[in-house]
Structure 1
Amino acid sequence: MRIEDYALVGDMQSAALVGRDGSIDWLCLPRFDSPSCFTRLLGDESNGFWRLAPTGHEQATRRAYVEDTLILETVWETPTGAVKVIDFMPPRHANPDLVRIVEGLSGTVEITTEIRIRFDYGRIVPWVRRRNGHLHAIGGPDSVWIHSGVPLRGGDYRHEATFTVTAGQRVPFVFTWHPSHQPEPERIDPLEQLAETRLLWEEWVSRCGYRGPWRDAVVRSLITLKALTYSPTGGIVAAPTTSLPEHIGGVRNWDYRYCWLRDASMTLDALTGAGYVEEAAAWRSWLLRAIAGRPEDVQVLYGVAGERRLPEMTLDWLSGYENSTPVRIGNGAATQLQLDIYGEFVDALYQARKQGMAPDDHAWALVTKVMEFFEHNWDQPDEGLWEVRGPRRHFVHSKIMAWVAADRMVRVIEELGRRGDVERWRALRDRIHAEVCDKGYDPERNTFTQS
């Protein structure tokens, strides 16, 4: 399955990837950066997946999200009738839930489902037993319940079933994760949660202030960005996946399930530009907690709760997306110096204030202190936007973003009325501008250079 054949569903704490063939091949629980329990995306069937589709039919006829939501509907038209599978993750309760509902549209259709739960990135085959008519899988710290009226048959370390649906009939499945040391979680009503999830997303979209061209595409992009926010803390992950290669067969396969200051700043620009200021305020609170401490200890990226140690390791039991290895978890870039991030996050906070985010004295004091450190270190070589894993260089992009940081300090003071030494930041801005023009521009080619 190609990456473009997957669709995203999530609950703003984690996310699943659903293929056009009705298979969920990637799901990490309970957080974006938790170990996955379906990992076929980066391996093969033995690493875990959950397929739900008409018997003998591969690719769906069509699929789409329910308008203004993150609820996915996948439709198959077969010789005997039509059916759709509704996939979504409802607002988080005590534990994360993944809901799949098979709905008959016309005629009668035979459905086959196969599920292989593999905890710890496809490595742990769980112990599965039937309790009170439902499946319970457990392996180490992870535990999953599968609730459905369809009896699942076990064998060869997997469970499967075949059943039929007719027009108007709905057959739900609920997949619930919880820590293995805790008792069975309270069951949810999948149809009630479908209605609640739809209302949640429709209400959020109703607050969108964008009224320009291509609004449907803009709203869909905003929903995707919102899905990448981690609601308990306000952090924003760069992606819900790890180790998708920069090019097929290559080795630059990184774990992006963390919060880059750069990526989050760009996400905030998009959200606040559409009127979503609450997300900006939540991210600002996350930022203040994440970078609290010495200014020289500010990192490029953090965990969703502000974790700083994100050790990088490879998972040698996985063959990689289209055989692109290694598969990595964690990210060594957390210890790199990337000076452009100062410009990114100072600009994001400035833009959010311009869009109506309330001022915060503590935030301004912390930003000022960080910028005082930056004032004496902006001219250092760094790993830059490209996160090079070699000698540090004087990247022009980093220097230009250093200019942005100084410029936004000037603007915050002049335009937003914050107290500060505007001449100090104006002088720094001018000094950076002069150096970029002197050392980062090639007049013969009439272009700025990389370094």
Structure 2
Amino acid sequence: MSADLNLAAIGNGTIAALIDKNGRLAWCCWPRIDGDPIFSSLLGGEEPTGGFFDVTLDGQTKATRRYQPNTAIIETILENADGAKLRVTDFAPRFKLYDRIYRPSMLVRRIEPLEGTCRVTIRLRPHFQWGAQSPKPVRGSNHMRFAGEDFTVRATTDLPIVYVAEERPFVLSRPATLVLGPDEPFASSIAETARGFEEKTRDYWWEWVRYLSIPFEWQEAVIRAAISLKLCAYEETGGIVAALTTSIPEAPHSIRNWDYRHCWLRDSYFTVRALNMLGATRTMEDFIRYLTTVIASDPSGRLAPVYSIVPGTPLEERFAESLPGFRGMGPVRVGNQAAEQVQNDGYGHVVLAAAQMFFDHRLPNRGDEALFRLLEGVGARAVEFAFEPDAGLWELRGKRRIHTFSAVMSWAACDRLKRIARVLELPDRATYWAEEARKIRERILSFAWNEKMGSFVDADSDGQLDASLLLLAELGFVRPDDARYVATVEAIGRELKRNGYLMRYAGEDDFGLPETSFTICSFWYAGALDLIGRREEAREMFTSLLARRNEAGLLSEDIDNQTLELWGNIPQTYSMVGLIDTAMRLSKTWEEAFWRGS
């Protein structure tokens, strides 16, 4: 079975799992979203011997899949030519219990016969130690235990345990349940408990979605993107991963395989901003709590670009030798060397992520002077490092330059601190940060505009076109009607578009010429087109991007320039953020749709 990215995501803020179109659990890290993958067949080659959990129906000819509306609960229908049909329902429990959110490291799988004689085989084959260990099940009366060096997983079921342990085909004559969770006894009826958990989990997601401020158009796509972003937040600490997977290549055989199960300050800001636009501010509040821990952990004030979702956990990059990689395209990386890089845009992203805390009157705990003073320390580093050569937004490993985007984010940090100081009625601090912002902006403009090219460029030396320049107006650095910005948008559209979608840049990097379009850049381009008055073109670009989603409504990081196939880690928060931002920008208003007859 060849792996692909036609995957659906489930999760609960502690763990998450990816399920393929046939209902196979192909990826799940344990006991949290950045842990050891107990299901790793996504990175395990054509015919994995382990690392998955599936239900096979004899003679299967068809599989269909859908999310229960507005939830992170997925249903897969399997059918065969003889008319047999069954339903597999998968979810991770998440609901309110005792005035807090119950979100255990647990997956629930319910299997129901719908029509005909369903002869099935259940294969539960977890792997530990990144595919190196295939634990043998230890059977109990209604459960199996899989013991590893770091944790033990228990599978509890109301099926005859011998059928599951020995993978014996049997006729499924009644609904059955399997619960994968901690090594603890199941103290109540598994069937009733699972049904109750499903109902409460459904109610939780319905309630969460109900209060989203969604656009009139593209509602289903926006809701799915919002839920996907929510699944990427590790609620215990407030950290947000960039994606749920590691080492899905950016392009075939490219070696551009990275571990995205960690918290980039940049990516997290974009995620927080998108959810804030929808009115889901709790993720921001949790992320601010995470940031205060990160900032306090380093007295020097030098921020790394990426941290573990549990601050203080090392991210040293290594290879998982026991896994061959997605379609055999290794290496499989654990950890990320980007943690060692200098990337100076992070200071601005930290301040921007926290800024709404000072302006949003809905929040029960608004930003105060203590938080402002903490952010001023971040702003001081932004000023200090504004023009220090760095690896830049795209994390180039081989060359440091003074990057326009990094410097602009330092300007943004100062600009937002000025605005916050005014809200807090601290005029001296507002004046100070306004002056710092002015000086940084003047210096950026001295090198970022290239008269010969007729556009802004990405660095102070050997400057080129770069999709990040599309954000200059969005950040407020220039006005959308600034002739220099309009010219830059037009140049980027001419030079960086491939088969309808945008590259990050066109030149060679540490690994040669890029081969895929970076999905968020196409969303940025659609937004920029709208800003400069080309809304119809922007809507066309957005509609085209929606068509690239997989069957479950998810986007990965990249789009192949030739085949338009998805590549890169999934679900990519950047891409799902781009979908939300652009939909909110381009949608007709509810008033236009209802009262103006359009």
Same fold (TM over 0.5): yes
Distance 1:93 1:414, change over 3 A: closer
Residue matched to 1:39: 40
Given that residues 222 and 271 in structure 1 are in contact (C-alpha distance below 8 angstroms), is that contact kept between their aligned partners in structure 2? yes
Residue matched to 2:486: none
Name the CA distance, whole Å, in 1 between partners of 2:357 and 2:375: 14
Distance 1:296 1:81, change over 3 A: same
5+ long unaligned stretches in structure 1: none
Name the CA distance, whole Å, in 1 between partners of 2:127 and 2:415: 50
Check if 1:73 corresponds to 2:75: yes
The 10-residue stretch of structure 1 (357-366 or 32-41) with the greater mean CA deviation from structure 2 = 357-366
**SS at structure 1 position matched to 2:117:** strand
Check if 1:345 corresponds to 2:350: yes
Residue 111 of structure 1 aligns with an amino acid whose one-letter code is: V
Name the CA distance, whole Å, in 2 between partners of 1:326 and 1:288: 34
- Bigger relative contact order (CA 8 A; separation at least 6): 2
Check if 1:57 corresponds to 2:65: no
| 1:195-218: CA deviation from partner (whole Å, max 9, x where unpaired) | 111111112112212243222211
Residue matched to 1:160: 167
Given that residues 87 and 98 in structure 1 are in contact (C-alpha distance below 8 angstroms), is that contact kept between their aligned partners in structure 2? yes
Residue matched to 1:316: 321
The 10-residue stretch of structure 1 (379-388 or 120-129) with the greater mean CA deviation from structure 2 = 120-129
Question: How big is the shift at 1:436?
Answer: 2.1
Name the CA distance, whole Å, in 1 between partners of 2:256 and 2:371: 36
Residue matched to 2:13: 12
Check if 1:126 corresponds to 2:116: no
Given that residues 38 and 117 in structure 1 are in contact (C-alpha distance below 8 angstroms), is that contact kept between their aligned partners in structure 2? yes
Question: How big is the shift at 1:76?
Answer: 2.3
Given that residues 346 and 367 in structure 1 are in contact (C-alpha distance below 8 angstroms), is that contact kept between their aligned partners in structure 2? yes
TM-score (norm 1): 0.92
Residue matched to 2:115: 106
How do 1:268-417 residues align onto structure 2 when only pairs under 5 Å count? 268-292=272-296, 293-356=298-361, 357=363, 358-415=366-423, 417=425
Question: How big is the shift at 1:295?
Answer: 4.5
Residue 269 of structure 1 aligns with an amino acid whose one-letter code is: R
| Structure with the higher fraction of residues in strand conformation | 1
Distance 1:423 1:6, change over 3 A: same
**SS at structure 2 position matched to 1:119:** coil
Distance 1:58 1:176, change over 3 A: farther
Given that residues 29 and 177 in structure 1 are in contact (C-alpha distance below 8 angstroms), is that contact kept between their aligned partners in structure 2? no
Distance 1:173 1:340, change over 3 A: same
Given that residues 5 and 19 in structure 1 are in contact (C-alpha distance below 8 angstroms), is that contact kept between their aligned partners in structure 2? yes
Residue matched to 2:230: 226
Distance 1:310 1:217, change over 3 A: same
Residue 85 of structure 1 aligns with an amino acid whose one-letter code is: V
The 10-residue stretch of structure 1 (21-30 or 107-116) with the greater mean CA deviation from structure 2 = 107-116
5+ long unaligned stretches in structure 2: 95-100, 460-598
Residue 84 of structure 1 aligns with an amino acid whose one-letter code is: R
Residue matched to 1:197: 201
The 10-residue stretch of structure 1 (378-387 or 410-419) with the greater mean CA deviation from structure 2 = 410-419
**SS at structure 1 position matched to 2:377:** helix
Question: How big is the shift at 1:173?
Answer: 1.1
Residue matched to 2:519: none
Residue matched to 2:213: 209
| 1:3-57: CA deviation from partner (whole Å, max 9, x where unpaired) | 4311111111111111112211111111111111111111131241111132232
| 1:392-415: CA deviation from partner (whole Å, max 9, x where unpaired) | 111111112222112111222234
**SS at structure 2 position matched to 1:421:** helix
Name the CA distance, whole Å, in 1 between partners of 2:394 and 2:301: 21
**SS at structure 2 position matched to 1:160:** coil
Give the number of aligned pairs.
Answer: 442
Given that residues 148 and 172 in structure 1 are in contact (C-alpha distance below 8 angstroms), is that contact kept between their aligned partners in structure 2? yes
Residue 429 of structure 1 aligns with an amino acid whose one-letter code is: A
Distance 1:438 1:212, change over 3 A: same
Check if 1:264 corresponds to 2:273: no
Residue matched to 2:98: none
Name the CA distance, whole Å, in 1 between partners of 2:409 and 2:302: 19
Residue matched to 2:255: 251
Residue 66 of structure 1 aligns with an amino acid whose one-letter code is: Q
Q: Percent identity?
A: 31
Cα RMSD (Å): 2.2
Distance 1:304 1:5, change over 3 A: same
Name the CA distance, whole Å, in 1 between partners of 2:427 and 2:329: 52
Given that residues 308 and 334 in structure 1 are in contact (C-alpha distance below 8 angstroms), is that contact kept between their aligned partners in structure 2? no
Distance 1:336 1:418, change over 3 A: farther
Name the CA distance, whole Å, in 2 between partners of 1:419 and 1:65: 52
Distance 1:415 1:133, change over 3 A: closer
Question: How big is the shift at 1:82?
Answer: 2.3
Question: How big is the shift at 1:164?
Answer: 2.9
Distance 1:47 1:397, change over 3 A: farther
Distance 1:246 1:316, change over 3 A: same
Distance 1:6 1:309, change over 3 A: same
Name the CA distance, whole Å, in 2 between partners of 1:214 and 1:273: 15
Question: How big is the shift at 1:107?
Answer: 2.9
Name the CA distance, whole Å, in 1 between partners of 2:426 and 2:339: 31
**SS at structure 2 position matched to 1:374:** helix
Runs of 4+ in 1 over 6 A off after TM superposition: none
Name the CA distance, whole Å, in 2 between partners of 1:259 and 1:137: 29
Residue matched to 2:567: none
Check if 1:172 corresponds to 2:177: yes
Given that residues 385 and 398 in structure 1 are in contact (C-alpha distance below 8 angstroms), is that contact kept between their aligned partners in structure 2? yes
Name the CA distance, whole Å, in 1 between partners of 2:428 and 2:225: 37
Residue 444 of structure 1 aligns with an amino acid whose one-letter code is: K
**SS at structure 2 position matched to 1:108:** coil
The 10-residue stretch of structure 1 (143-152 or 184-193) with the greater mean CA deviation from structure 2 = 184-193
Question: How big is the shift at 1:116?
Answer: 1.2
Residue matched to 1:425: 433
Name the CA distance, whole Å, in 2 between partners of 1:420 and 1:216: 47
Given that residues 100 and 174 in structure 1 are in contact (C-alpha distance below 8 angstroms), is that contact kept between their aligned partners in structure 2? yes
Name the CA distance, whole Å, in 2 between partners of 1:197 and 1:229: 17
Distance 1:134 1:448, change over 3 A: same
The 10-residue stretch of structure 1 (89-98 or 201-210) with the greater mean CA deviation from structure 2 = 89-98
Name the CA distance, whole Å, in 1 between partners of 2:15 and 2:354: 26
Distance 1:392 1:9, change over 3 A: same
Residue 449 of structure 2 aligns with an amino acid whose one-letter code is: Y
Name the CA distance, whole Å, in 1 between partners of 2:426 and 2:30: 42
Distance 1:164 1:274, change over 3 A: same
